[in-house]
Amino acid sequence: MAEYFRRHRFAGVKDRAAIAEHIYAVLRYRASLDWWLARMAPSLAPHGRTRLLVALVLVESWTPDDIKGACDGDRFRPPRLSGDEERLIDMIAGGKLVHRDMPPDVVGNYPAWLGPHLEASLGKDMAREAEALNRPASLDLRVNALKSDREKARAALARDKIDAARTKYSPLGLRVFERIPLSTLAIFKSGGVEVQDEGSQLAALLTDARPGMRVVDFCAGAGGKTLALAAAMDNRGHLVACDVSALRLERATQRLRRAGASIVQRQPLSGQRDKWVKRHARGFDRVLIDAPCTGTGTWRRNPDAKWRLRPEDLTELSALQADILDSASRLVKPGGRLTYVTCSLLREEDEEQIDKFLAAHPDFSAVPIRDVWDEVIGGDCPTREPTLRLTPARNGTDGFFVAVLARALAPTADAPDDAP
């Protein structure tokens, strides 16, 4: 979409918003759209135009006359409808997207091969969560404690006529339910707020980074959680942002400067087994792993990602996560903590990774999430499980998994050493 808009600069703000809405509708509901095409118009191949025609009728409630009027072949409008296309939209007019004959993966609009994996994790909530993953996400902001507080930030947004609600769980979060020109707002340009889903805010908070600590964000990426850690540390201590992409770390520079995060050292890694890890073994109080994953919890924001996933991706990512966990754990000092985070809803990437890691590393033990929650957040904890799973339907956040592990103060007899 970004490339299209660069080539079509004449499109105004409203046009761009409408185009984006149409594209996201197709991406969110592609399985259902293809089902209707196969059922009602088998002569029409499923592609961008035919899927959009079905989405206009069944998702956006356009009438056949609306569509025929828009597709008139004008210079800036689509070509006229073919006879088959006209018959298609006439047949489905006034219908509903979901049909009783659809299988669950078509109703839920996810790849069929992922169904058993999602069901193993979500159980009886599967249908409700699948529906929530297809709804647009709100805009969540994290207030930067280095520069503001939640009420001051909320008042600043109100002066710009933007209504922001306090998030349910994060004490630093504000939620906006409308499109806003965020990059033009004074509170954003000054570094007072950053875009960050409430679930991601909670993951950073549960790392329990404190002023004066030595902390590593092992898979820092563009630096969203790094910024949150720097604020939690009140810019006091040593915070290292690691990533295998030096370019991603470099792109975080502007965000770090705007937020006033001055304690961050950026450390590119050649891989999870980089020699830097061995040189700094047992040297950090807190290690955060925001592991690369399938991203199944982010489909509200990235609906295209679900259709690109392949079964082999899950296998490869699970192996990579295990290797990252094993390597990054070497950085945790005795008595320190390792926080493992994914934006995945799959047990293979979440609970099963933690179980395998703990079985292989007897000097680590799980810290109950409720205990950490009471220490650093307070209020009602959304789970009674040892680990935390957040979901769109249940919690109103992206899908996240968080586990906190502590390293024993004294090494156990059968604990592995920290050699690569």
Q: What is the pLDDT of residues 325-370, one digit of tens each?
A: 999 999 999 999 999 999 999 999 999 999 999 999 999 999 999 9
CB 317 within 8 A of CB 292: yes
Residues 6+ apart with CB under 8 A from 264: 223, 226, 230, 239, 240, 241, 256
Residue 21 has a pLDDT of 94
Q: What percent of the chain has pLDDT over 90?
A: 90
Measured CA to CA, the distance from residue 289 to residue 143 in angstroms comes to 22
Q: Which of 53-57, 212-216, 221-225, 279-283 has the lowest mean pLDDT?
A: 221-225
> Domain coordinates of the chain in residue numbers?
2-102, 139-195, 199-407
Burial label, 20 (beta-carbon count in 10 A; 0-12, 13-18, 19+): middle
pLDDT class of 27 with cuts at 50, 70, 90: very high
Q: Which two tokens stand for residue 403?
A: 């586990």
H or E, element range at 194: strand 193-195
Residue 43 token pair: 């002569």
For residue 271, the model assigns a pLDDT of 85
pLDDT, position 415: 65
In the chain, % of residues over pLDDT 70: 98
Can you tell me the mean pLDDT for 258-266?
Answer: 96
In this structure, what token pair is assigned to residue 203? 């993951």
Q: What is the DSSP letter of 234?
A: T
Task: Report residue 61 as tokens.
Answer: 């409630």
What is the per-residue pLDDT for 413?
60
Q: 10 pLDDT band (50/70/90 cuts)?
A: confident
* CATH assignment of 199-407, among 3.90.650.10, 3.40.50.150, 3.40.50.1980, 2.60.40.2550: 3.40.50.150
- Average pLDDT on 4-26 reads 91
Would you state the pLDDT for residue 420?
A: 60
What superfamily would CATH give domain 139-195?
Answer: Sun protein; domain 3 (3.30.70.1170)
pLDDT of residue 100: 96
pLDDT tens-digit readout, 63-77:
999 999 999 999 888
More confident residue, 234 or 75: 234
What pLDDT, on a 0 to 100 scale, did the predictor assign at position 322?
Answer: 97
Please check whether residue 237 is in contact with residue 211, taking contact to mean a CB–CB distance below 8 angstroms.
yes
The SS3 call for residue 337 is: strand
411 or 94: which carries more pLDDT confidence?
94
**Catalytic residues, which ones?**
343
Length of the chain measured in residues: 420
Whether residue 369 contacts residue 296, with contact meaning beta carbons closer than 8 Å, is answered with no
Strand order in the sheet with 139-143: 164-166, 173-176, 139-143, 193-195
In 3D, which of 9, 1, 5 has the Cα closest to residue 27? Answer: 1
Band (pLDDT 50/70/90 cuts) for residue 416 is: low
